[in-house]
Amino acid sequence: MRAATSSKRSQENESSKVASPAACVSPSLALSSHPPRTQRTCHPQMAWSNHSIISEFILTGLSDDPLIQALFFALFLGVYILTMTGNLTLLVVITADSHLHTPMYFFLSNLSFLDLCFSSVTVPKLLKDLLSAKKSISVEGCLAQVFFVFITAGTEAFLLSMMAYDRYAAVCHPLLYGQMMTSELCLKLVLLSWGLASLSSVVIVLLAVNLDFCEAYTIHHYTCELPSLFPLSCSDISVNVDILICSTLLHGLGTFLPIFFSYARIVSTVLSMKSTTGRSKAFNTCSSHLIAVVLFFGSGLVRYLMPTSGSTLDLLSSLQYSAVTPMLNPLIYSLKNQEVKAAVKRTLGKCLRYLE
C-alpha cells in the first residue's frame, strides 16, 4: 500500500514539473506557436525551458472596419508620398544650390534626411497592415522597429536643439556668426547627435530584449513602441519603466532646455531691436523652427511619459510625431522662407534648361 502511494505521489510530482502555467518568453527566442491565453503567472527562467514560445506579435492597428481601413490607407499613402516628395525636394535643392550652403540649411538638410528615415520606419508597415487581414510583426522585426524609432526620433530631437543654437548665434551675435558656426563645428554637432541617439537607442532596446512574455502577444497599437510592449510582459517591469522614464526625461530635457534658453535670449534680443524690419526678419527666421519644435516635442513627450492605455490619444500622439510632423517640416521651412523659394525656382530653371 505504501509503495503504491509513493509511486502515485512520484508520478504527480513528475507531472507538476512538466506542466507550465503559461508560455513565458524573451523576445530574443525563436517561436513555433501562439501560447494559450491562460494564467499570466510565470517565471523568467521558464523562457529558456518552455517549448511553447511566440515568434510574432499581433498588432490591433487603427481600425477593424474594412471601409475605415481603406480610407486610412488612402490618407496615409498620401501623407507618405508628400513626406517623400517634400523632404527629397528640400534635400536636393539645398545640395544643388550654393546660396544655401550655410549652417542653417546644413542642419535643415539633415533634418529632411532624418524625416525620410523616420517616416519610413513606421508608415510602410502601417500601409501594409491596412491591406492585410492579419496584422503581425516578428519579434525581431518588432525590436528593430523599436530601435530605429528611437534612433531617428532621438537624433531629430538633438538636431532641433542644434538648430536652436544656430538661430541664437545668428540673431544675438550676427557679427560673430561665421566664427561661432564653422563647417567643422556643424559637422561635429550632427555626428554628436547621431552618436548620443544611438547610445540611448541601444539602452532602450536592451530593456525590450530583457522582457519576458507570457500568453499575451497582442499589441494595442499600429506599430512597435516600447511603452506598448510593457503591458504584455509577465516579468517585473518596474525597473524598466523607471529607466525608460529617466531616459526620456534626460533626452527630452537635455534637448529642450537648450532650445528654451536659446529662444529666451532670442526674444530678449528681438524686443530690444528698434527696427521693425529687423524684428520681422528675426521672427520669420525663428517661427518655422518653433512650430517644428512644438509639434515634435509635444507629441513625443505625451507618448513616452503618459501611461500606456491603448487609447486614441496614444495612437494620435504616435501618428503626430512619426507620420504627420515629417510631412509638415518641409512645408513649415519652405512656405515662409524666401531663400528656399528662390532656390527652388533656380533649381527648377536649371533642370528645365538641362532637359531642353
Q: Quick one: pLDDT at residue 87?
A: 93
DSSP for residue 64: S
Q: Quick one: pLDDT at residue 8?
A: 46
**Rounded mean pLDDT, 179-193:** 92
Residue-wise pLDDT tens digits, 202-225 = 888 887 777 777 666 788 888 887
Task: Tell me if 97 sits within 8 A of 343, measured CB to CB.
Answer: yes
Q: Quick one: pLDDT at residue 12?
A: 45
Q: How many Å apart are CA 85 and CA 326, to the nearest integer?
A: 11
Residue-wise pLDDT tens digits, 229-241 = 777 777 777 777 7
Exposure class string for 142-153: b at 16+ Cβ within 10 A, else e: bbebbbbbbbbb
Name residues whose C-beta falls within 8 Å of residue 212's C-beta, 6 or more positions apart in sequence.
24, 25, 26, 42, 44, 46, 47, 233, 234, 235
Do β-strands 218-219 and 56-59 pair in parallel, antiparallel, or remain unpaired?
parallel
Q: Quick one: pLDDT at residue 209?
A: 79
Strand partners, 59: 219
Q: What are phi and psi of 273, to 5 degrees?
A: -75, 140
Name residues whose C-beta falls within 8 Å of residue 130's C-beta, 6 or more positions apart in sequence.
61, 62, 69, 70, 72, 73, 76
Q: How many Å apart are CA 88 and CA 94, to the nearest integer?
A: 10
Q: How many Å apart are CA 142 and CA 136, to the nearest integer?
A: 10
- Given a cut of 50, whether residue 4 has pLDDT beyond it is no
Residue-wise pLDDT tens digits, 134-148 = 888 888 888 888 899
Name the pLDDT band for 75 (thresholds 50, 70, 90). very high
Residue percentage of the chain with pLDDT more than 70: 79
Strand order in the sheet with 56-59: 136-138, 56-59, 218-219
> Which of the listed ranges 69-78, 230-239, 256-265 does the model predict with the highest average pLDDT?
69-78
3-state secondary structure of 138: strand
Name the pLDDT band for 33 (thresholds 50, 70, 90). very low
- Given a cut of 80, whether residue 48 has pLDDT beyond it is no
Q: Quick one: pLDDT at residue 80?
A: 94
Q: Quick one: pLDDT at residue 38?
A: 39
